[in-house]
Amino acid sequence: MEQVFGCLVRFHVLRVLLNFLFHGASMSELDLCALIEDFGSEEKCRRYLERLRWPNGVVCPTCKSKKISRIAERNQFDCDSCRYQFSATAGTIFHDTHLPLWKWFLATYLICESRKGMSANQIKRMLKITYKTSWYLCHRIRHTMITVAKPDLDGTVEVDETFVGGKKKGFGMKAAKAAKEVVIGIRQRGGELRFFHAADVKSGTLAQYIRENVSKHVDVLVTDDFSAYHGAMKQIGFSAKHRTINHSKKVYVVGDIHTNTVESAFSPLKRGIVGTWHRVSAKHLSAYLDEMCFRFNNRKNDFLFRDTMLKLINSSNLEYKKLTAEVRDAA
Ligand SMILES: [Zn+2]
């Protein structure tokens, strides 16, 4: 508690710094002051998670009974029907966490609000926690940002590819050969953005991502004049709907034919990787891409923080062992 309020003054200074870092990104309805006011104690955080988890009153996770007694001194509940004792965070991603909840709340807020993402190192410094704790915390928050439901994209859809990582500068085809990672971007104009970490930019690979994400009834598919797109469109029967913009001749817009909306989403990704994460290993790239897409697709969502907390409280625990087995080389 004292720690929290001790931090309050420092946070006012931090806020100025954060505004600078976010380059004027929307601070939505919840700014840092409101966050501290609303969630500045373990009790406030716990009550908030309770309300998110059980909006219609506490329910026993074992027998679903609603006859529950609160054991206030232990922050637990006792089921009157089956005598099971549980807490608001039992079985969730917060299960067994040794971190104070307010640090979870603050880290989630920072990750939601920073347009280019935030590195584990930065969270470590801001929350005064170890790098290992910060890395694990960031990955668990990021893990909940994976969008499960992916309806087909429709209308006008732009597809483009870019290359990230590696030591050589540049993002063209030559750079791809210099061991950079391929990211395919697909964006419905006025709609959702999706990024994928792809093995290569061959026709078959491009065709697979387009087939899996774009509706058969799409109006128009726009790409640049990279030859593999022609092969890809042929494979999936989209050639008649395919329009290209001739980037190799420095033409970028012809009427409605351009790939500017998907390209504009690549720039925070590249800045994020260069400026925030510094080094993203190939193993982690998909997780970072999911985080970027989640934030991008929610950039106008005034309730992004609440919605992310909702995802966290409804996610099951992600053990450190399991996470490090999936992504062994921590970035
Ligand atoms: Zn029960």
Please, what is the end-to-end C-alpha distance for the chain in angstroms?
Answer: 32
Q: Using the mean position of ligand 1's atoms as its centre, give its distance from the Cα of residue 59 in Å.
A: 8
Q: What 3-state class would DSSP assign to 99?
A: coil
- pLDDT score, position 322: 75
Q: Using the mean position of ligand 1's atoms as its centre, give its distance from the Cα of residue 318 in Å.
A: 24
Q: Return the higher-pLDDT residue of 162 and 249.
A: 162
AA identity, residue 322: K
Rg of the chain, C-alpha, whole Å: 23
Q: What 3-state class would DSSP assign to 70?
A: strand
Q: Using the mean position of ligand 1's atoms as its centre, give its distance from the Cα of residue 144 in Å.
A: 27
Q: Using the mean position of ligand 1's atoms as its centre, give its distance from the Cα of residue 6 in Å.
A: 40
Tokens, residue 194: 């999706």
Q: Annotate 275-313 with b (16+ C-beta within 10 A) or e (fewer).
A: ebbeebeeebbbbbbbbbbbbbbbeeeeebbbebbbbbb
How far is it, in rounded angstroms, from Cα 238 to Cα 1? Answer: 60
Is pLDDT above 80 for 101? yes
Q: Using the mean position of ligand 1's atoms as its centre, give its distance from the Cα of residue 99 in Å.
A: 28
- pLDDT score, position 84: 95
Nearby residues for ligand 1 (ion, Cβ within 5 Å): 60, 62-63, 65, 79, 81-82, 84
Query: Are 175 and 187 contacting, i.e. CB atoms less than 8 angstroms apart?
Result: no
Q: Using the mean position of ligand 1's atoms as its centre, give its distance from the Cα of residue 70 in Å.
A: 13
CA dihedral 221, 227, 233, 234 (to 10 degrees): 150
Q: Across the chain, what does the average pLDDT equal?
A: 83
- In the predicted model, what is the mean pLDDT of residues 268-274? 79
Is pLDDT above 80 for 277? no
Tokens, residue 283: 């193993």
Q: Which of 165, 112, 200 is nearest to 277 (CA)?
A: 165
Q: Using the mean position of ligand 1's atoms as its centre, give its distance from the Cα of residue 51 in Å.
A: 19
pLDDT grade for 165, boundaries at 50, 70 and 90: confident
Q: Using the mean position of ligand 1's atoms as its centre, give its distance from the Cα of residue 64 in Å.
A: 6
Residues 6+ apart with CB under 8 A from 113: 18, 22, 25, 27, 28, 305
Query: Are 134 and 98 contacting, i.e. CB atoms less than 8 angstroms apart?
Result: no
Query: Are 112 and 94 contacting, i.e. CB atoms less than 8 angstroms apart?
Result: no
Q: Using the mean position of ligand 1's atoms as its centre, give its distance from the Cα of residue 281 in Å.
A: 44
Q: Using the mean position of ligand 1's atoms as its centre, give its distance from the Cα of residue 54 in Å.
A: 14
- pLDDT score, position 247: 73
Q: Which of 103, 142, 140 is nearest to 123 (CA)?
A: 103
Q: Using the mean position of ligand 1's atoms as its centre, give its distance from the Cα of residue 249 in Å.
A: 68
How far is it, in rounded angstroms, from Cα 318 to Cα 95? Answer: 9
Q: Using the mean position of ligand 1's atoms as its centre, give its distance from the Cα of residue 88 in Å.
A: 14
CA 267, 190, 231, 207 dihedral sign is positive
Read off the pTM. 0.78
CA 82, 86, 92, 97 dihedral sign is negative
Q: Return the higher-pLDDT residue of 162 and 116.
A: 162
